[in-house]
Every structure is written in C-alpha cells, then in structure tokens.
Structure 1
Amino acid sequence: MGEDEPCRLAPEEAPPGLKLATFSGACFWCLELGYQRVPGVITTSAGYTGGSDPAPNYLSVADGHTGHAEAVQCIYDPNECTYDQLLDTLFEVVDPTVCNFHDGKQYRTGIYFHDEEQQQAAAARIVALNDQLKAGTAPSHW
C-alpha cells in the first residue's frame, strides 16, 4: 500500500464458520501485530474505516479530511477465540482514555461491530471499563 495508493476493501463477510471483528486505536500496525498474536485469528487487514472518502489513502487520511480512523479487521474462528478475547487485546494495546494518539484524528480508538452480539459485548465492556476508571482500578498500563 503506497502513500497515494487507494486501499483494497476488506471483506464484508467472513468465510463460513468464521467471524469478522474490526477495531481502531493508535497506529494500525501496532494493533494489527497484537491481533496476529491471538490464537484463533486467521488473518488481519490494516486499513481505514469510519470516514466519508470511498477510496482513502495514507496521505488523504493523514491530512485529516476524510474522517477515517486507522483500523484492523480480523477474521477469526469463534471456536478458538472469543470476541471478548479480541476486546481484551484492544485494551491491552491501546489506552482508550487518550484521544487522537500521535496528534491525529485517524488514531482514535473505536469498536466497529458486525452483529448484535458484538455490539452488546462492546457496550458491556465499555461500561465495565468506565466503572474501573471511576473506581481508580483501570489497567496500570493506561
């Protein structure tokens, strides 16, 4: 993927028996490495999501005019890892209390769910993390 080369689109659906999960937070290369190390993650794709440009590239996203975030999409086997484990990985790699890592909107933390079950799991995790922050028991690496 060159600086001015449009990204290839990640799949909209997972292959039979597998699931998709998409997350953003800090640089996608760091986040992607975290997911590549999770047993049960079959493949990862780094790219951009959440913006208005149908063909974003590194330069247009870095300029801050597309609204996209750097993100990682995982194809995973739900028999080998759970969505909660993928959420664990997100919050081990990024500190969601920091807004716009590296001074760029494209580095924001996000959870882009693909079904109702993921939406509910993400919402429950956010509530639990907010409770930890209020209680002063948030993870020490934040």
Structure 2
Amino acid sequence: CDGGNDALYEHGETWIDGCWSKHCQGGSIKTIVLKECCEVGEDVYNPDSGWDDECWNYRCTQGIIKRALKPNMCCAVGDKVYRNGEFWYPGMMLYQCDHGISKLINQNDGGLSLQINLPSAAIMSSNSLLESTRYRRDISDDASVAQ
C-alpha cells in the first residue's frame, strides 16, 4: 500500500495518519477514525479543535463534541434555539430574539395590549407569526452545553 510521503506498507500493517488509523489489506487502505477525534458528516476534527455555525461554538474533546451557545447571537428557550431577529409566539405573548436576549414585544392580558416598539415584521397574523418560527433548531443535549 502507498501510504503517501514515500511510505510503503505491507499487507497487514497498520499506521496512524492524523485522526485516521490506516490498515493495508491486499493493496487497499482501510481507514478508521480514531476515537479521540470527532467525525461530523464528512469532516473529521482533531482533539481540542473547534468550529462554529450561526448559533453554536463546537469543540472536539477526546472524541466528544461539546457545544456552547454563542454569546450575543441566538436565544435558547426551553428545547428550542431562535436566531437573531426571529419571533416566537407562546400563548398570548410575542417574543423576539435580540442579539441573544429574549425580548417581550407584545403581551395580551384580557383585552389590554401592551406594544413596545413593535417592528413592522411583527405586525402580522398569528399564522404568519407561527410560520416565522420555521427556523427553530431543536436542542437535544442541553446537559452537554458547555458555558
């Protein structure tokens, strides 16, 4: 097997290449991700390396992916995450995520309505408000969120 960098391996030999354990078998190289690395889709991350997306910072720690909500970006509410600017409508109250802070926009208490700087995007029907939550992201492992 040609292991690259002018390295040749015989049938049955195993070697380590970054996060990969490679094994020469009949002229073909079989690869396995090492348990201390993190495999995410087609990407493999080294221990103690990190990456992020719109709402989360991720870190590979001994094969375990840990994540923390990015400060001043998204809002975690129960088991949902809302991006900056998104609205949600639990019961009779309208909230908006404002740079990581859940802000009460509108409260309806027995016919009295309190409106605070209601943005034009929030002046829509209940159905439209519910549609605006389509970008919610579920959090399945709150306990592992590192702060």
Q: Does TM, normalized by the shorter one, top 0.5?
A: no
Normalising by structure 2, we get a TM-score of 0.21
Higher relative contact order (CA 8 A, sep 6+): 1
Structure whose CA Rg is larger: 2
Normalising by structure 1, we get a TM-score of 0.22
Q: Which has the higher helix share?
A: 1
